[in-house]
Amino acid sequence: MKHIRQLEDQSIYILREAYKNFDNLGMLWSMGKDSTVLLWLARKAFFGHVPFPLLHVDTSYKIPEMIEYRDRLAREWRLNLIVGQNKKALAEGMNHEKGRIACCTALKTEGLKQLLDEKGYTGVILGVRSDEDATRAKERYFSPRDKNNDWDFRDQPPELWDQYKISFPPGTHIRIHPLLDWTEINIWEYIKLENIPFLDHLYLDQGTGSRYRSLGCAPCTSPIQSTSKNVDEVLIELRNSKVAERAGRAQDEGRGMEELRKDGYM
Amino acid sequence: MATDTTIQERMNIVIVGHVDHGKSTLLGRLYADTGTLPEGKIEKIQAICRQQGKEFEYAFLFDAFLEEQQQGITIDTARTFFTWGDRQYIIIDAPGHKEFLKNMVSGAARAEAALLIIDALEGVRDQSKRHGLLLSMLGVKQVTVVVNKMDLVDYREDIFQAIEKEYREFLTQLNVVPQYIIPASAKQGINITKISPETPWYTGPSVLDSLAHFHSETAESEQALRFPLQDVYKFDARRILVGRLTAGKLKIGDRLVFSPTNKSANVQSIEAFNVDPPPTQAMAGQSVGITLDEQIFVERGHIATHEETRPLVSTRIRANLFWLGSQPLETQRTYTLRLATREVLCEIVAIHRIVDANNLDDRQTQATVQRNEVADITLRTKSPLAFDLYASFETTGRFVLVDNYDVAGGGIITELVADEQEDFRAEARERDSAWVKGDVGAEERSRHYGHRAAVVLLTGPDTTAKSFLARKLETVLVAEGRHAYLLVGENLQRGLDADLHEIKAEETVRRFGEVVRLLTDTGSLVITTTNAFPQATKGIVQTVQTLVNPIQVVTVHMTKDQDGPQPDRDLIFAGPEDFDACTNKILETLKQKGILAEPTGSQPSVQFSI
């Protein structure tokens, strides 16, 4: 498990750099396996404390168990949880039937933008990983976003050794990605190694022959066929799988992710 | 793909080389032929190609951006994952176009080994050499060269040998020995995952097999300890010093000394969350937290080591630097230097020569360093920097320069350049190592007095009323209940310096500095002027700083000529002027620097985080 400890050391270093260098810092938590591992790493980096707020952009279409789990961990781990929501778009009846990209843009990208604007965060920590998607494979650990939240992927600043981008002009902010080098398998290896509480009812087969591999909004995320009933079985399944992790996520189809991420999607 | 074996280790490999020599194609082929691609990936890209009416290429598998696929070039590095045997590889595909050199460097800086691709038809080109040079500067010592597109030269051995000879000679000048030089054709799948009959004269491994010959770098823990401090936490009763060991190891009970301050204490515990039993030692590469048995002043940027193996300290270093900034690097301009966790302002003193990757012997002198150039430079930092030579320690032997919010260049340190403070620094180091302490620590004194020990040093020409302001400051501070003392330099001449029969400027300044040091050890705020040293004013500020280090010296300059050039000081006043206003500004500065808390009277309530 040496490689997992190496990943852990690197991620903790990044989290501590973020905490030291950003006065107004927040961490996105979607309750999925990745951002929950990120939250666990923060508890390790800060010796049981989480010294910045956790941000959840609630589209209102999340699977109910996710909200329950969120509120339970927030209580048990004494988290400062901040929930944001694009209420205007919801009031106007936004849902996935109006177009998946349109729905994601309004409820997630725009919801996130509203939350960031309202609180004025200059650093936002996210659990995205390189192996999830080809555009995420091109991210920096510390990645600048301009005043409109846009990602200028054509002209990213250099990132050398362990020296990250920690200075930036007013009005812009930095997205921080401590999990960039982790793979889906590494996430499960770490959950097992550290015994991290996760949404086992959703991520493991409960006898129906299916489980979620990636969690998002209920209407746009479908379970995969799988009989994995524990983490060991999930690991064996993944080592032999050739299906992409986000195959069950509708918004990724075509050039969806490049378009979404350029405009500030996570 | 055979993935039932558990992963034992991970390794970062970068693919570099001149534009269009086939880096992305090689990567695509490697994944396709080992069955590593997700189901439907090739079909998806083939469909996009049909839509756009162009031929399918393996390179398209990882060039994610629409623009990259349309132009047929890689713009930014992509990380892809690949498991083979018991190793998980992260393969970093770096762009070869000169315009995207900063992206290539960002990719290569993360790598432990490199595959360098050369086109058999085009031979060794600009970026083939520049990338080779940068790999050696970035610390990537393991290189395998792939001579690609051998199909275009009919797999001719003589053409391969000519390229091999030329490039091997080039690498030799950089002290790099390639592990293998492999003839291949990524497009045709020749010698990529297995040896093919097209090159019967080649006896080495395939590209895939060559990866297993790169070794994982773990040697740093055999070196002397380097523990650059990242932060100090006080979330609860524990005062935890955190950071990542960049070399060596430490254990509970070890005596650590922090550079450049020379403070020392013993490791009391190694703190960790969800680890049972708690660790007793830590190794290179680990992000850790420790507590000390004594409350000494330490902060981010200080480097902890064992006593006998301290890093170097100077304000001048010589380095090889590659520049990626959009503005050229110039002398006489201030940049931010970052070395491990230390951040300090610096200035380029001299640009000795520009290193031309195409002709390593012929180095030219220039006044500036342009984007994508490599230069041999000397720089001066504003305050003393603890560092190592790159040849001895990788992480503490290199630095980046920041210009206009962005990392704009990277350097490796080749030499310590002695500065005028060298002797005083050695004196302070030896004195501090042997210093015998009482039972009352600096933190206890701070709590008692309501401030930290510090020095306010007033400089400037005659008749600017330095001593008048110094007296006023002492009076105001003492009236506020502070432990302040006005040290008049002339008083030393009659007592301490009475044995000096002729005027020895350097010795009087040294003695003055040691007296200031002694007074700060009592927890005092020492106020003094340079009046007693008319002939030594230039170096006196630095000397006092060196001798009292790490106590803060607040420098105040009184000038007669407000429009002329001013020395580098915390405050500059036209003297004589409104002394009440000047005093208030000094008090304000003392508060800003965390030396003074709000006036506290006899019952200080403020906790000093020292």
Q: Is-contact B341 B229, C-beta < 8 A?
A: yes
The C-alpha of A157 sits at a distance from chain B's nearest C-alpha, in angstroms, of 6
The whole-number average pLDDT for the span A41-70 is 91
CB contact under 8 A, A242 and B272: no
Specify the pLDDT at position A146.
Answer: 80
> Would you call A118 an interface residue with chain B, using a CB distance cutoff of 8 Å?
no
Q: Give the span between the Cα atoms of B610 and B516, in whole angstroms.
A: 20
Top residue of A37, A52, A78, A138 to mutate, by most chain B CBs within 10 Å, is A138
Residues B262-305: tens digit of each pLDDT: 999 999 999 999 898 999 999 999 999 999 998 888 999 999 99
CB pairs under 8 A between A and B: 153
Top residue of A22, A135, A160 to mutate, by most chain B CBs within 10 Å, is A160
Q: Give the span between the Cα atoms of B61 and B65, in whole angstroms.
A: 11
Which of A57, A38, A12 lies closest to A198 in space, CA to CA?
A: A38
Q: Say how many Å lie between the first and final Cα of chain A, rounded.
A: 29
Q: Which of residues 55-114 of A touch B (CB under 8 A)?
A: none
Q: Which residues of B touch A160 (CB under 8 A)?
A: 105-106, 109, 400, 407, 410
Number of helical (H) and strand (E) elements in chain A, helices listed first: 10, 8
Specify the pLDDT at position B601.
Answer: 40
Residues A156-208: tens digit of each pLDDT: 888 888 898 888 888 888 999 999 989 999 999 999 999 999 999 999 999 99
Q: Give the span between the Cα atoms of B527 and A144, in whole angstroms.
A: 45
Specify the pLDDT at position A21.
Answer: 92
Q: How many CA atoms lie within 13 A of B95 on its CB side?
A: 22
Encode B216-243: b = buried (16+ Cβ within 10 Å), e = exposed. bbeebeebbbbbbbbbbbeeeeebbbbb
Q: Give the span between the Cα atoms of B31 and B44, in whole angstroms.
A: 15
Q: Which CATH class is domain B425-592?
A: alpha beta
Q: Which residues of B touch A244 (CB under 8 A)?
A: 38-41
- For chain A, the residue count is 266
pLDDT band at B3 (very low <50, low <70, confident <90, very high): very low
CB contact under 8 A, A2 and B9: yes
> Would you call A192 an interface residue with chain B, using a CB distance cutoff of 8 Å?
no
The C-alpha of B272 sits at a distance from chain A's nearest C-alpha, in angstroms, of 6
Residue B64 vs residue B586, higher pLDDT: B586
What is the value of pTM for the model shown?
Answer: 0.82
Top residue of B52, B81, B276, B395 to mutate, by most chain A CBs within 10 Å, is B81
B235, B286, B400 member nearest A163 (Cβ): B400
> Would you call A153 an interface residue with chain B, using a CB distance cutoff of 8 Å?
yes
Instruction: Tell me which CATH code domain B220-309 carries.
Output: 2.40.30.10
Q: Give the span between the Cα atoms of B99 and B104, in whole angstroms.
A: 10
Going along chain A from its start, the domains and CATH numbers come out as: 2-182+253-262 (3.40.50.620), 184-251 (no CATH)
CB contact under 8 A, A159 and B109: yes
B75, B233, B406 member nearest A154 (Cβ): B75
CB contact under 8 A, B78 and A138: yes
Burial of residue B462 (CB within 10 Å: 0-12, 13-18, 19+) is: exposed
What fold, for B9-211? Rossmann fold (3.40.50)
- pLDDT at B74 exceeding the cut of 80: no
Percent of chain B with pLDDT over 70: 92
CB contact under 8 A, B78 and A49: no
Specify the pLDDT at position A254.
Answer: 56
Q: Which residues of A touch B410 (CB under 8 A)?
A: 160-161
Residue of chain B with shortest Cα separation from A5: B286
> Would you call A254 an interface residue with chain B, using a CB distance cutoff of 8 Å?
no
Top residue of A13, A143, A163 to mutate, by most chain B CBs within 10 Å, is A163
- pLDDT at B9 exceeding the cut of 50: yes
pLDDT band at B603 (very low <50, low <70, confident <90, very high): very low
Residues B319-339: tens digit of each pLDDT: 989 898 889 999 888 999 999
Measured CA to CA in angstroms, residue B573 lies from B170, B539, B583 at distances of 58, 20, 11
A154, A185, A242 member nearest B38 (Cβ): A242
Q: Give the span between the Cα atoms of B589 and B455, in whole angstroms.
A: 12
Residue B455, strand partner residues: B526, B553
CB contact under 8 A, B65 and A162: no
Residues B156-204: tens digit of each pLDDT: 999 999 999 999 999 998 888 999 999 999 999 999 999 999 999 999 9
Residue B267 phi, psi dihedral angles, 5° rounding: -75, 120
Q: Would B220-309 and B425-592 be classified into the same CATH topology?
A: no
A153, A161, A168 member nearest B109 (Cβ): A161
**CATH code 2.40.30.10 for B312-419:** yes
Where are the domains positioned within chain B? 9-211, 220-309, 312-419, 425-592
Residue of chain A with shortest Cα separation from B338: A163
The structure tokens 């981010």 sit at: B300
Q: Give the span between the Cα atoms of B588 and B594, in whole angstroms.
A: 10
The kind and range of the H/E element at B416 are strand B406-416
Residue B301 phi, psi dihedral angles, 5° rounding: 105, -25
The C-alpha of A119 sits at a distance from chain B's nearest C-alpha, in angstroms, of 23
The whole-number average pLDDT for the span B464-477 is 92
Q: Which residues of A touch B39 (CB under 8 A)?
A: 242-244
- pLDDT at B207 exceeding the cut of 90: yes
Q: Is-contact A198 A229, C-beta < 8 A?
A: no
- pLDDT at B232 exceeding the cut of 80: yes
B67, B238, B406 member nearest A158 (Cβ): B406
Q: Give the span between the Cα atoms of B80 and B297, in whole angstroms.
A: 44
- pLDDT at B604 exceeding the cut of 50: no
Residues B101-146: tens digit of each pLDDT: 778 888 888 888 999 999 999 999 888 888 888 888 888 889 999 9
CB contact under 8 A, A137 and B90: no
CB contact under 8 A, B407 and A157: yes
